């Protein structure tokens, strides 16, 4: 177990922004970590992140440590969320294309 068996109150998942903050991987990457849309060659982790939160939103209800992100998810424009979900599902179905 990578987490040493710790029961965490917050999932250890991240968008591209957090990966960029915590590493230097994004500097030479083909994808653009600051972009949000597939047409702009956005980092796929951004879409994967929002898709994950949306799929698990019932699970995170009442989790205070997730409240800020769940609020952002709730306020997200429906079309934008759908675009994230569509791209995330494409990444999941076709990981070797990314
Ligand atoms: S895919 Fe590229 S831009 Fe996105 S987190 Fe990974 S290194 Fe950074």
Q: Tokens for 98?
A: 């990314």
Q: Which atom of ligand 1 is nearest to the CA of 16?
A: 5
3-state SS, residue 32 = strand
At 35-73, the pLDDT tens digits run: 988 889 999 999 999 999 999 999 998 899 999 999 999
- What mean pLDDT comes out for the span 88-96? 96
16-97 fold: Arc Repressor Mutant, subunit A (1.10.10)
Nearest of 21, 14, 20, 22 to residue 32 by alpha carbon: 20
Confidence of residue 34 (pLDDT cuts 50, 70, 90): very high
Q: Tokens for 95?
A: 């990981």
Atom 4 (ligand 1) nearest CA: 43
* Structure confidence at residue 54 (pLDDT): 98
Q: Is 42's C-beta closer than 6 angstroms to any atom of ligand 1?
A: no
Residue 41 to residue 26: CA distance in whole angstroms: 13
What distance in angstroms lies between residue 32's CA and the mean position of ligand 1's atoms? 7
Q: Is 45's C-beta closer than 6 angstroms to any atom of ligand 1?
A: yes
Confidence of residue 12 (pLDDT cuts 50, 70, 90): confident
Atom 7 (ligand 1) nearest CA: 26
pTM: 0.88
Average pLDDT, the chain: 91
Confidence of residue 10 (pLDDT cuts 50, 70, 90): confident
């Amino acid at each position: 177990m990578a987490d040493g068996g710790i029961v965490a109150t917050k999932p250890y998942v991240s968008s591209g922004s957090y990966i960029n903050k915590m590493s230097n991987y994004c500097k030479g990457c083909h994808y653009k970590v600051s972009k949000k849309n597939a047409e702009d060659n956005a980092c796929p982790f951004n879409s994967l992140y929002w898709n994950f939160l949306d799929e698990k939103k019932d699970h995170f209800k009442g989790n205070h440590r997730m409240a800020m992100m769940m609020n952002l998810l709730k306020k997200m424009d429906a079309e934008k969320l759908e675009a994230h979900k569509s791209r995330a599902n494409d990444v999941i179905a076709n990981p070797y294309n990314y």
